[in-house]
Each structure stands twice: as C-alpha cells, then as structure tokens.
Structure 1
Amino acid sequence: MTGLDLRELECALVLGEELHFGRTAERLYLSQGRVSQLLRSLEDRLGARLFDRTSRRVRPTPFGARFLTELRPAYTGLHGVVEQARAAARGVLGVLRLGFVGMFDEPLSELTGTFGRQNPACHLEFVELPLSDPFGAVRRGEVDAALVLGPVHEPDLMLGATFARHPQTLVLAARHALAAREALSAEELAGCPLIDVAGPAPRYWRESMAPTSTPAGLPIPRGPRISTLQEGLSMIAADRGAMLFCAPTAAALWRRDLGVVPVTGLPEASRALIWHRDAETAAHRALAQVIVDHERASHEGAV
C-alpha cells in the first residue's frame, strides 16, 4: 500500500459509523460523489472491498470490519499528533490559567472542552474569581485570561470575545411573594431589594448585576452586600434580597428553596473573555476563536 491518504481513511471510518453515504458526506462537508471516489481509491490501494453497498443499505465486509477496528486507534493517535503539531506551529502551548466568575456551567465546559481538543499542547487550569473582583486577578497576573460577566469597559484589558447573550431572570427565595409569578417587568423591581456586589468591582459592573433604578427611573432598594456567589445564594435563600442572572445560569442554580422568574425590559446578560493588553498570546487568540466559532454555529442553528 503506497500513497497513504488521511482523507481516505477518515472517509472510511465515518462511513463505518454512519453506514450511509449522504450522512457521511454531510459530516465531512463533501459531496456523495467525492465520498464514493475516496472509498474506491482506498479499496484499490488495499486490494479488497471494505463495504458492501446496495441501493438500500451499506455494511462493512468481513475484511472491512477488521480493517476499521484496527484502523481507529491508529488514526486517532495520528490525528492527535497532527493537531498537536498544528497547535505548536501556532504557538498554542503550555498552560493557560483561566479565571471564571459565577457558575462554571455546561456552556463554559463545552467551550473549554473544544479548545482542549483543538489545542492538545495547551493545558487549561481553572481559577474561580470572586464576584467582588472580576478583573483584579488578570491585572495581577494570577490568571492569564478570565471569563467574566459583561459589560467590560476597562482600558487596560482586551475584550477577546463577547458571548452567551441571554435574557435576565430574578432569583429569589421560594417563599417570596413574587416567586409564584410567571414573569416580572423591570419596573416591578422597584418593590424587590437587590443584593449588592462589593468592591473593588467597578461601579458600572456592579450596577449591571444590581441596578439601582428601573428603566423608568424608579429606585430599586438595596439588599445586603456580598463578595461571592455562595454568599449571594445564602442571602437569597434567607429572603434578604434577590439577584439577577442570565437564564441558563439561573436554571443551573435552581434548588427547592429558590425561585426563578423571568424579567422583561432589561438588557440581555452576557459573558466576556478578557486578558491584559500587554500579555496577549496565541493561546488567547485561539480561545477567542473557539468562542466566536461556537457563537456563529449557535446562531446559524437557531435561524
């Protein structure tokens, strides 16, 4: 066998999973004709048929089944070597210390998992940051980048990507009178104390977490001041006040002693990837690209 072609091997492996030329073509972003061409070329190199195909079904031949079983681990290892070499060529190496504010939920796990698969030579380490100081660890060099709640208006920090825009919801004690409501307007927050976030978080950022007035200008009473997410949840459960979160985070936080109510009339909540302007690396840019690609795919899937 000469002239090894990774695309032919990939095509055979995917067809072995899908057992359908159309679905294989979709996964590989190829035409069905190109899939057939790649498969015939590989079979010619091997000197044997890998699949029996009729108008109704596709299935591996006995030889093909053995070949695919032996090929998969070798191909997976080779693919990993190639991806590692590509990452090294881009300079995406070493350790990226990534801070996060609030919940490290499933969407963040999915994003960082994609980054890890695409950049196996770069290892992520995670550091939880307090609500009261979302930017300090980046400035002090304690983390290389951070996933924080938006907005971010810090001149010394680079905004790599903004993502996860969702409507806001109010999390409050389950026994609170408003907890049974299906939705609230932003103006109704005037009757519900919001738990405040302590400094050194800048005022505009704390206002986004706990606005001091409604869109029409009605004052919103202040609840106790907290520094961490767990402190906030404890105060909410004790019915000392409520907090605003994006809808997915609120859903992830739900427990029996808490209520979650959508709020209309407020700007969408968002998350942001940030790093110090003087410390940008290829790893920062690669993680930002993962986020941009994920947001684009999510938007296209929703259209």
Structure 2
Amino acid sequence: MERRDIEIFLTLAEELHFGRTADRLLISPSRVSQTIANLERRFGVTLFDRTSRRVELSPVGAALYADVRAGHDRIQRGITAAIAAGRGVVGTLRIGLEAPAIAELAGPVFDRFRAENPGVELVFREAGFSDPLDLLRAGEVDVTVTNGPVDEDGFQEGPLLYSEPVVLAVGREHPLAACSTVSVDDLAGETVFRAGRRAAPYRPEPDRTAPTFLDLLTLIAAGEGVVPLAAHAADYFARPSLVMVPFEEGSPPVRWVLCWKRGQATARVAALAAAARGAVSGR
C-alpha cells in the first residue's frame, strides 16, 4: 500500500463516509472510492460493506484497520521524533507551576507537546507561593506557568494555556458566604488578600498577603479577610470552613500563561509555546 492509499483507507475507516473522508484529505470523493476499489481488487477481499445509506468496515477490513493503524502510528511517531531531534527538540523541559492544578487543567497542551516532541521529557515543579517566578529567576526551571499578564522586567510573557473564572474565598460565617455571586463592588470595605504573584485582574494591590497558601486559607477561614482565587480552587481546596463564591458573569478571568526569561527561549520552550497556541486555538 502506498502512503496515500493508507491515509485514505484509515480515514474512511474512521469517518465511514466518503464525503467526509474526501473533505478531511482535501481530495474528491471519487478519488476515495477509486482507491478503496483498487485496494479491494488487489487484496481480493471486501474491505467495506456499502449500501446507499451506510458504509461499514467488513470483518476483514476491521482487522486490517487495527493492524495498519498501529503500524501507521508507530511510523508517524518515528518521523516526529526524527524531525524533533533534527531541530534539537530533545532532552528535558523543566516547567514551574504557580498553580500545580494547571498540570491537569492544561492537560491538552502538555499532551499535544508530548505527541509532537516525543524526545522531550516534561518535569513539573511547584513554584513558590509568594514569588512564583522564583524558580525561573534562579534558573531551576526553563519556563513557568503563571497568572498573566507578565510585566516584570527581564521576563517574557508567552501564549495562553488555560483561562478560568474567579471565585471569592470567604469564611463560612462571612456575610458574603450566603451570596450566589459577588461583584467587585462587594469588596469595598473588605480586607482583601493576594494569592500568588498578582492581584485579581480587576483590583489594585490587595491589602494583605500570607507566607503560604495554607496560611492564607487558615486566615480566610478565621474571618481575617477574603481572597479572590482561580475557580479551580473550589474543587481542589474545598474545606468545611470556607465558601467559594463565584464572581458575577462578565468579570475578568484568570489567564494562565507561559513565561520565560527574556532572550532565553530554548527550542523546547518554543515548541511548548507552539503546542499551547495550537491546543488553545483548536488547530
């Protein structure tokens, strides 16, 4: 089987529709039909059972699909690895995370990077709470995922990996705990803490900080103040003493972006940035 014949066979086996197969491969439906007919004549078997209403793999076609798909995927991985090695995209990429949950929430980005760069191992490290750029600043990681925008001197903001709404963490006895949503105006008169390196997207520098995230949640639970957090906190850090109240619709989200030292974007960092753009845009 020629490479194009393999692509047509595999795509039709997945789409089970001549028109959609042609659209995916940017060829005519007649080319698809002719290729499958030629393969069936060459092999002396029926690969697809076809009627006026439906297309289905025959038992022989299903078995052939399983074998060819596995072999095709191995070849593609080998080609991808060879191209990556030729570009120097091999080795280890060290990634700092301001919010460790991003390793899971931005999984599609990291999955795409692994598929496109099989010669690179991803190693994640949790960044410091009070200074999430600490590992990057010290050269202990190559890139950090942080709450954008990044405007610190010497650092370059990269593409978006993940965006999510904001919630307000309050103690269970706090008056705002009974609200279905909160607004920026509701923060007036409150002691507002900062979590991470930036204030919430719509506030000036908050009134207070805490040395660790555990200290922060303990202070909020004790009624010492409130803190805007990324919405995933409601799932990852739920506790009986806290209530996570969503901000009203239309409030600015938290934007988790890549960040690296200006002028120090390696080939591996550039490949991660490309994977992020592709995964987020859906291309």
Superposition TM-score, scaled by structure 1 size: 0.79
1:148 is paired with a residue of what secondary structure?
strand
Q: Show the 5 A alignment for 1:51-130.
A: 51-105=48-102, 106-130=104-128
**Percent of aligned pairs with the same amino acid:** 36
- 2:266 corresponds in structure 1 to 281
Structure 2: distance between partners of 1:88 and 1:295: 25
Instruction: Report if the CA contact (8 A) 1:101-1:129 is conserved.
Output: yes
Distance 1:74 1:188, change over 3 A: same
Secondary structure at the aligned position of 2:6 is classed as: helix
Aligned position for 1:255: 238
**Separation (CA, whole Å) in 2 of partners of 1:11 and 1:195:** 58
Q: Offset of 1:141 from its aligned partner?
A: 1.0
Q: Does 1:179 align with 2:177?
A: yes
Matched residues in 1 for 2:181 and 2:171: separation? Answer: 15
Matched residues in 2 for 1:292 and 1:281: separation?
17
Q: CA deviation at 1:291?
A: 1.4
Distance in 1 (CA, whole Å) between partners of 2:122 and 2:164 is 26
Deviation (angstroms), 1:124: 0.5
Q: CA deviation at 1:241?
A: 2.7
Q: Aligned equivalents of 1:96 and 1:134: distance in 2?
A: 18
Q: 1:123 to 1:237 in 2, by over 3 A?
A: same
CA distance in 2, matches of 1:281, 1:57: 50
Counterpart CA distance in 1 for 2:105 and 2:153 is: 27
Structure with the higher fraction of residues in helix conformation: 1
Moved more, 31-40 or 69-78: 31-40
Q: Distance in 1 between matches of 2:243 and 2:191?
A: 15
Instruction: Find the aligned partners of 2:225 and 2:24 in 1 and give their Cα distance.
Output: 49
Q: Shift of the alpha carbon at 1:234?
A: 3.5
CA displacement 1:81-106 (0-9 Å, x = unmatched): 11111222332111100111124244
Equivalent pair of 1:92/1:122 in contact (CA under 8 Å): yes
| 8 Å Cα contact 1:160/1:288 also seen in 2 | yes
Alignment of 1:155-234 (within 5 A): 155-196=153-194, 205-208=197-200, 211=203, 222-223=207-208, 225-234=209-218
* Contact 1:166–1:246 (CA under 8 A) maintained in structure 2: yes
Distance 1:283 1:87 in 2: 10
- Deviation readout 1:114-162 (Å, 9 max, x if unpaired): 1111111111100010221111211211001110111211231122213
1:263, CA displacement in angstroms?
A: 2.4
Q: Is the 8 A contact 1:87 1:121 kept in 2?
A: yes
Listed as ranges, the gaps of 5+ residues in structure 2 are none
Structure 2 length as normaliser, TM-score?
Answer: 0.84
What is the alpha-carbon root mean square deviation over aligned residues? 2.9
Structure 1, unmatched stretches of 5+, are: 214-219, 299-303
Q: Which residue identity does 2:268 align to in structure 1?
A: A
Q: Residues 210 and 243 of structure 1 are in contact (CA less than 8 Å); yes or no, is this contact kept in structure 2?
A: no
State the number of aligned residues. 280
The alpha carbon displacement at 1:295 in A equals 2.6
Q: Distance in 2 between matches of 1:255 and 1:100?
A: 20
